[in-house]
Structure 1
Amino acid sequence: MDFLFWGWMMSFSLNNGCYSLSRKPHRNRVKAGILRRIKIRRKPVIDVDSIFFETKNVRPSDLSGGRWRRNGFNHQHMKKRVITLGVAALGVAGAQAADGKLWEVSASLKGFYDDNYTTSPDDLAEESWGIEVSPGLSLSYGQGTDLEINAGYAYGLRWYNDRAGDDQDHGHELGLNLNKAFSESSRLILSESFVVAQEPEVLDPSLSFPLRTEGDNIRNTFEAGYAQDLTGNFGAEIGYSNSLFDYDEDYHSALLNRQYNSVDLAGTYNLDRLTKLRLGYKFASTDFDGSDLQVPGLDFLADARDSYSHFAYVGVSRYLDSQYEAQARAGVQYADYHNADLMAGIIPDDETSPYVDARLTWTYAESSTLVGGVTLMRGATDLQAADQETTAVYAQLTHRFTDLSPDLYGTLTGRFQNGEISGGGDKLDGKEEDLLLLGASLSYNITESIWAEISYNYDELDSDIPRRSFERNYVSFGIGARY
């Protein structure tokens, strides 16, 4: 099962000085990568999130919780530091807690109903009630010091009442984050994320593969980022990322098993204390290492999809005031499929496309935030083609109902994503898929250590490819506790 039940990714809230595995709404997913704004005393902001700003096609349900994550977590700690597992890196944001508790354990118990747990076309959809159980452990060291280390592990078990064959899903998620300040003008961030899951948005946050797949599917991601102030208002940033994808089922393994490496270099200029300009270059390589796929009339060679991508972009980070934060990158991506001759006519020689990643965050009240953004970039596909060009628009509203009760929280999320297939011959080239994801949830903190929640998610895939379109409704309700 997807870690944290069907794609819910475990988050940690700093509770009394420790990170809690309370599975909070994934606000940091929007900040995918190492997204942390680092304020330096009497100096401009060192903006490490510039290196890992890419939102990786954020799924709104990941932002909000709902089916994919516990929504309505321990919101009274919302202003405290948050670390979220399941992203390409561990994002850290917020303020530091009052004391220095180093560890915390938690567990949740939920009931659920899923009317299409196989993400199949309507005439093949299968439904089931079930039970979810998820324990977790988190560790935290050095909060508020020059060296911060955070780690966490969570296990998820989902039991299906009406599923034929294996009626259980199991998921694991392990994360580690290190944040080291060498001086007031330089900082290093390292992160590691390992997941075993079945839900697509947990395995690949870009949602290159929109369908659920059975088995012990693995994603491992390591990221490193370094930012340095130079002379005057100038600075430099460098980032590195490595992701490994290993799918269990033979068909998806042949099409999606791959390793992705990227190096990002950027020069920065502090226009003022609140505005940073950026000029950058990024190189990325994608190496598909699955077995060759044999289908009637076509032997699909995994190596033919290997590519080198070059990105050139300009960017800006602007902190308008304590309420507004805006970041954007815009440029061009050139993809070179250097093994295209292995499958001439199926894989193109190269592709050039726009590259956009923009996000706006508005904190309009205490523990109440609106996040919205847009991304446009190339990514993998589970179809027999080179890749796809994906455009995504997303938003998340998290609101604290202070007038009704300071312990009541709600979240609304939405994401619309369009993918256009590149390559694959006449049957696939230029075909499109539209993915709509909506979520809503309410949570209530019964006590400092116990919460209750209810959530709803709706997914719809509208595909030009026959027998891929589906609809899915999911409802969950339950309780959780931490110590």
Structure 2
Amino acid sequence: MAKTIESRPDSNEYFGGFSLMKRVFTSAGVVGIGVLGLFSTQAQEKPWNLEANVRSFYDDNYNTLAQGDESFGFDLNPIGTWRTGEGPTSFQMKYDYRLRFFEGRPNNRTDQQHKVDVLVQNSPSDVVELQLQNSFAYAQEPGVNEQIVTAPIKTEGSYFRNEFQLHGVYDMNELIDLGTAYKNTFVDNEQDGTGARSALLDSMIHDFRVDPRWKVSDVLTARIGYGFNYYLSTSDDHVAAVGVTPGATRDVFAEERNSYTHQFFVGGEYQLNDVTEINGDIGVQYTKFPNAVGNIDDDVVNLMADVRVEYDAGTDTKFTLGVKNRRTGVDVAVRAGNGNPTLDGEATSIYGSVDTRIFGPLSANVTGNYQLTRFFQGQADDQRDKLASLGLTFIYDVLGDGTLNAETGYILDDLSSPLGGREFTRHRGFIGLNYQY
């Protein structure tokens, strides 16, 4: 994983991406909501499977500062999955626990993560398919598996997140079907007070999407769609306050960053050949900030793009290359000398991954992401953060059947920013074992 930096869930995240059902989310796969890997497609012949990861690591900047502290440590990560159901209804549950110990950290040496995922799939008729999913997480530094990072600076304190999703597809005829999706995200941070993580990121987010799809040919499916997002801050804390925040000229309330977004898009899937698929959506977003205060622009229009190319040549080589552009939440609010807050940002992300077998039991995984985030309003208006992430992992299949793997890897995160106090570089290395039963 090239990123383990916690973020506020995207206020404009999109739906789709599951391939576990017959057809429900294959045509919206490029617009995933960050939960595509919740349930493994391996070992499906058993009603349950267990996985354990044990790693020793070195982290030269665990607090993501310009001059950060270093530490050795170890990471324990047991995972259990249970599934049941035959016929039109199936049920899956996954529990993921992680304990990370930092030898060099003077206080609070352990970070812990509890994550519970539930997935229910149902086909009540030949023309209707439904999927319900809930994902609960409580952690100090949960990992992020998204191409858009919204808050690259780590802070102390626990974090609670719950995401509920409901997806459905109705087959109108052999060529046309209608896809719909709803997601509710609730976020609560332990760190409170003026300008703290709670004031910046605590929220209730509602997302809705509808996209009729047309099967043009055996290799091409087209779609047109509409999405609506409503972001509501749930914190009672001030983003900034006179006498508390340096340079603040007025009290700034968290609700000033509330927003709603309309998005219109066209897209589709194209099977280029037996091993290559192109999937994408392109459109526009209109975002309004109804509680914005002062003489500032309270709405903005921007391009929305989400395009991905996937190549799968069997067991030897797989790669993904994609680009995203959309509005996103940010952890920047009020800078010294300005009374208006930064409302959000526009992020462009180019990402990719490669999985390849080097020889015999040895394989490698490479992931990379470059993200440019342009801030909207406040003193940071039109300023740009640049975040680069790179991960390299070597995997050795010890027994030859995939049940026991030795792993070693390197992870780099680098943030450059014109805003003071945000820049950092972080190097991490690890070695460990993965066992699956």
1:344 is aligned to 2:286:
no
Question: What's the TM-score, normalizing by structure 2?
Answer: 0.87
Of stretches 265-274 and 378-387 in structure 1, the one that deviates more from structure 2 is 265-274
Return the match for 1:234 from 172, 176, 180.
Answer: 176
Q: What SS is found at the alignment partner of 1:365?
A: coil
Q: 1:176 deviation in Å?
A: 1.2
- The ranges of structure 1 where at least 4 consecutive aligned residues each deviate by more than 6 angstroms after the TM superposition are none
1:151 is aligned to 2:93:
yes
Tell me what 2:369 maps to.
Answer: 415
Tell me what 1:396 maps to.
Answer: 353
Q: Say how many residue pairs are matched.
A: 410
Aligned 8 A contact 1:440 1:455 in 2: yes
Q: What SS is found at the alignment partner of 1:421?
A: strand
Q: Kindly indicate which of the two structures has a greater share of residues assigned to helix.
A: 1
Aligned 8 A contact 1:7 1:200 in 2: yes
Q: Which runs of 5+ in 2 are unaligned?
A: 7-12, 334-341
Aligned 8 A contact 1:35 1:92 in 2: no
Task: Determine the C-alpha separation between the residues in 2 that align with 1:208 and 1:387.
Answer: 10
Q: Counterparts in 2 of 1:302-451, with a 5 A limit?
A: 302-340=254-292, 343-345=293-295, 348-384=297-333, 385-401=342-358, 404-405=359-360, 407-424=361-378, 427-447=379-399, 448=401, 449-451=403-405
Q: 1:7 deviation in Å?
A: 6.5
Tell me what 1:125 maps to.
Answer: 68
Task: Determine the C-alpha separation between the residues in 1 that align with 2:138 and 2:226.
Answer: 32
Tell me what 1:60 maps to.
Answer: none
Return the match for 1:224 from 166, 174, 186.
Answer: 166
Q: Counterparts in 2 of 1:124-273, with a 5 A limit?
A: 124-142=67-85, 145-199=87-141, 201-202=143-144, 206-250=148-192, 251-273=196-218
Q: Quick one: structure 1 residues 411 and 89, their matched pair in 2 at CA, closer, same or farther if it must change by over 3 Å?
A: closer
Q: What SS is found at the alignment partner of 2:216?
A: strand
Aligned 8 A contact 2:24 2:168 in 1: no
Q: Quick one: structure 1 residues 307 and 7, their matched pair in 2 at CA, closer, same or farther if it must change by over 3 Å?
A: closer
1:292 is aligned to 2:238:
yes
Task: Determine the C-alpha separation between the residues in 2 that align with 1:380 and 1:175.
Answer: 24
Task: Determine the C-alpha separation between the residues in 2 that align with 1:38 and 1:185.
Answer: 17
Task: Determine the C-alpha separation between the residues in 2 that align with 1:299 and 1:213.
Answer: 23
Q: 1:236 deviation in Å?
A: 0.8
Q: What SS is found at the alignment partner of 1:246?
A: strand
Identity of aligned residues (%): 26
Q: 1:229 deviation in Å?
A: 1.4
Of stretches 178-187 and 280-289 in structure 1, the one that deviates more from structure 2 is 178-187
Aligned 8 A contact 2:5 2:153 in 1: no
Aligned 8 A contact 1:260 1:286 in 2: yes
Q: Quick one: structure 1 residues 35 and 98, their matched pair in 2 at CA, closer, same or farther if it must change by over 3 Å?
A: closer
Tell me what 1:278 maps to.
Answer: 223
Task: Determine the C-alpha separation between the residues in 2 that align with 1:196 and 1:333.
Answer: 32
Question: What's the TM-score, normalizing by structure 1?
Answer: 0.79
Aligned 8 A contact 1:336 1:349 in 2: yes
Task: Determine the C-alpha separation between the residues in 1 that align with 2:383 and 2:4.
Answer: 28
Return the letter of the residue paired with 2:77.
S
Q: 1:272 deviation in Å?
A: 1.2
Q: 1:332 deviation in Å?
A: 0.4
Q: What SS is found at the alignment partner of 1:272?
A: coil
Q: 1:378 deviation in Å?
A: 0.2
Task: Determine the C-alpha separation between the residues in 1 that align with 2:48 and 2:141.
Answer: 28
Q: What SS is found at the alignment partner of 2:198?
A: helix
Aligned 8 A contact 2:62 2:69 in 1: yes
Return the letter of the residue paired with 1:409.
S
Task: Determine the C-alpha separation between the residues in 1 that align with 2:417 and 2:119.
Answer: 38
Listed one character per residue, the Cα deviations across residues 107-128 of structure 1 (whole Å, up to 9, x for unaligned) are: 222110000000101xx31000
